[in-house]
Amino acid sequence: MSYNGIPVFSDTTIIENLTAANVCDSIVIASITVVTGVKKALEYDPNVSIFPNPASGAFFCEI
């Protein structure tokens, strides 16, 4: 898995400092939790829907 081209292999936080053309700064903080199964995902948030289940590769995730 990757986030903006950065490989992610475990739970992590990525902080990006961005500067626009008008010199306005933005800080983006992305907290990423790597979920290895549908049951574990539902423990984090029961409003998460992952389909198709079972999947053999690509899947969809609705939050």
Q: Look at residue 27 in the predicted model and tell me its pLDDT.
A: 92
Do residues 5 and 23 both lie within one domain? yes
Count of structural domains, the chain: 2
Helix or strand or coil: residue 44? helix
Do residues 62 and 44 both lie within one domain? yes
| Tokens at 49, concatenated | 């829907």
Cβ atoms of 50 and 59 within 8 Å: the answer is yes
Q: Look at residue 13 in the predicted model and tell me its pLDDT.
A: 93
DSSP state of 5: T
Rounded distance, CA 3 to CA 5, Å?
5
Range of the domain at 49: 37-63
Collect the ranges in the chain with pLDDT lower than 50.
none
Helix or strand or coil: residue 31? strand
Q: Look at residue 33 in the predicted model and tell me its pLDDT.
A: 82
DSSP state of 56: S
Alpha carbon 24 to chain centroid distance? 26
pTM: 0.49
Q: Look at residue 26 in the predicted model and tell me its pLDDT.
A: 93
